[in-house]
Amino acid sequence: MTTTPSSTGSQPAGNDYGTHPGARANGIFKGMSTGAGVLILVTLAAVATFLLVEAWPAFIASPEDLGQEVSFIKPEDGQSLMEIIGYLIYGTVLMSLIALVIATPISIGIALFISHYAPRRLAQTLGYLIDLLAAVPSVVYGLWGVAVLVPFLNPFYQFLADYLGFIPLFAAPESGEIFTGRVAMSAGIVLAIMILPIITAVTREVFLQTPVLHEEAALAMGATRWEMVKMSVFPFARSGMVGATMLGLGRALGETMAVLMIISPGLTLSPYILQPNQHNTVAGYIALQFPEANAMGVSSLVAMGLALFVITLVVNMLARWVVSRRSEFSGAN
Amino acid sequence: MSKRIDINNLNVYYSQFLAVEDVSLSIEPKAVTAFIGPSGCGKSTFLRTLNRMHEVIPGGRVEGEVLIDGVDLYGKDVDPVTVRRHVGMVFQRPNPFPTMSIAENVLAGYRLNNKRVSNSDADDLVESSLRGANLWDEVKDRLNKPGSSLSGGQQQRLCIARAIAIKPDILLMDEPCSALDPISTLAIEDLITDLKDQYTIVIVTHNMQQAARVSDTTAFFNIAGTGKPGKLIEMNDTTTMFSTPSEKATEDYISGRFG
Nearest CB among B58, B84, B99 relative to A221 is that of B84
DSSP run (H or E) holding B162: helix B152-165
Nearest CB among A220, A238, A328 relative to B51 is that of A220
Residue A234: closest CA among chain B residues belongs to which residue? B99
Total domains in chain A come to 1
Contact B99 A236 (CB under 8 A): yes
* Residue A199 forms part of a structural domain: yes
pLDDT of amino acid B52? 94
CATH classification at residue A253: 1.10.3720.10
* Residue A44 forms part of a structural domain: no
Which of A124, A221, A228, A325 is the best residue to mutate to test the B interface, defined by the most B CB atoms within 10 Å of its own CB?
A221
Q: Which segments of chain A does DSSP mark as H helices, in order? A: 5-8, 22-60, 63-69, 81-112, 120-135, 138-144, 150-164, 184-208, 212-220, 225-228, 234-254, 257-262, 282-289, 295-324
Between A274 and A10, residue with greater pLDDT: A274
Q: With cut-offs at 50, 70 and 90, classify the pLDDT of residue A333.
A: very low
Q: What backbone torsions phi and psi does residue B134 show, to the nearest 5 degrees? A: 55, 40
Quick: pLDDT tens for B41-97: 999 999 999 999 999 988 899 999 999 998 999 998 999 999 999 999 999 999 999
pLDDT of amino acid A8? 47
CB neighbours of residue A228 within 10 Å:
24
Cα of B117 vs its chain's centroid, Å:
27
C-alpha to C-alpha distance for B186 and B198, rounded to whole angstroms:
20
Nearest to B203 by CA among B99, B59, B47: B47
Give every CB contact of residue B190 below 8 A, 6+ residues apart in sequence. B134
DSSP run (H or E) holding B36: strand B32-36
Give every CB contact of residue A106 below 8 A, 6+ residues apart in sequence. A192, A196
Quick: pLDDT tens for B207-221: 889 999 999 999 999
* Residue A11 forms part of a structural domain: no
C-alpha to C-alpha distance for B204 and B195, rounded to whole angstroms:
16
Q: What backbone torsions phi and psi does residue A316 show, to the nearest 5 degrees? A: -65, -40
Which of B48, B52, B73, B81 is the best residue to mutate to test the A interface, defined by the most A CB atoms within 10 Å of its own CB?
B81
When the pLDDT of each residue in chain A is averaged and rounded to a whole number, the result is 86
C-alpha to C-alpha distance for B248 and B3, rounded to whole angstroms:
32
Residue B53: closest CA among chain A residues belongs to which residue? A220
Contact A328 B146 (CB under 8 A): yes
Contact B56 A219 (CB under 8 A): yes
Q: With cut-offs at 50, 70 and 90, classify the pLDDT of residue A323.
A: low
When the pLDDT of each residue in chain B is averaged and rounded to a whole number, the result is 91
Q: What is the DSSP letter of A79?
A: B
Nearest to B87 by CA among B134, B49, B143, B41: B49
* Residue A29 forms part of a structural domain: no
C-alpha to C-alpha distance for B89 and A39, rounded to whole angstroms:
52
DSSP run (H or E) holding B22: strand B17-27
pLDDT of amino acid A325? 65
Identity of the residue numbered A175:
S
Residue A332 has pLDDT above 50, yes or no: no
Quick: pLDDT tens for A56-89: 999 888 888 888 888 888 888 888 888 999 999 9
* Residue A33 forms part of a structural domain: no
Domains and CATH numbers, chain B: 5-254 (3.40.50.300)
C-alpha to C-alpha distance for A56 and A61, rounded to whole angstroms:
9
- Domain of A253 in residue numbering reads as 61-329
Residues B236, B36 contacting (CB under 8 angstroms): no
Residue A328 has pLDDT above 60, yes or no: no
Nearest to A252 by CA among A202, A199, A195, A203: A195
Q: What backbone torsions phi and psi does residue B174 show, to the nearest 5 degrees? A: -100, 95
Residues from A contacting B (CB-CB < 8 Å) are 120, 211, 213-214, 216-224, 227, 231-232, 235-236, 238, 326, 328-333
Q: With cut-offs at 50, 70 and 90, classify the pLDDT of residue B1.
A: low
pLDDT of amino acid B221? 94
Nearest to B43 by CA among B229, B221, B225, B173: B221
Residue B128 has pLDDT above 70, yes or no: yes
Residues A37, A275 contacting (CB under 8 angstroms): no
3-state secondary structure of A106: helix
C-alpha to C-alpha distance for B138 and B145, rounded to whole angstroms:
12
3-state secondary structure of B141: coil
Q: At how many degrees (to 10) do helices A234-254 and A81-112 cross?
A: 140
Give every CB contact of residue B244 below 8 A, 6+ residues apart in sequence. none
C-alpha to C-alpha distance for A272 and A167, rounded to whole angstroms:
9
Q: With cut-offs at 50, 70 and 90, classify the pLDDT of residue A11.
A: low
* Residue A47 forms part of a structural domain: no
Residue A250 has pLDDT above 70, yes or no: yes
* Total beta-carbon pairs less than 8 A apart between chain A and chain B: 81
* Residue A48 forms part of a structural domain: no
* Residue A18 forms part of a structural domain: no
Check the CA dihedral A248-A253-A257-A262 and report its sign: positive
Contact B166 A120 (CB under 8 A): no
Q: What is the pTM of this model?
A: 0.81
C-alpha to C-alpha distance for B150 and B162, rounded to whole angstroms:
14
Give every CB contact of residue A278 below 8 A, 6+ residues apart in sequence. A91, A183, A184, A266, A268, A270, A272
Using an 8 Å CB-CB cutoff, list chain A residues near B162: 221
pLDDT of amino acid A233? 93
CB neighbours of residue B68 within 10 Å:
22
CB neighbours of residue B109 within 10 Å:
26
Using an 8 Å CB-CB cutoff, list chain B residues near A222: 81-86, 109, 112-113, 166
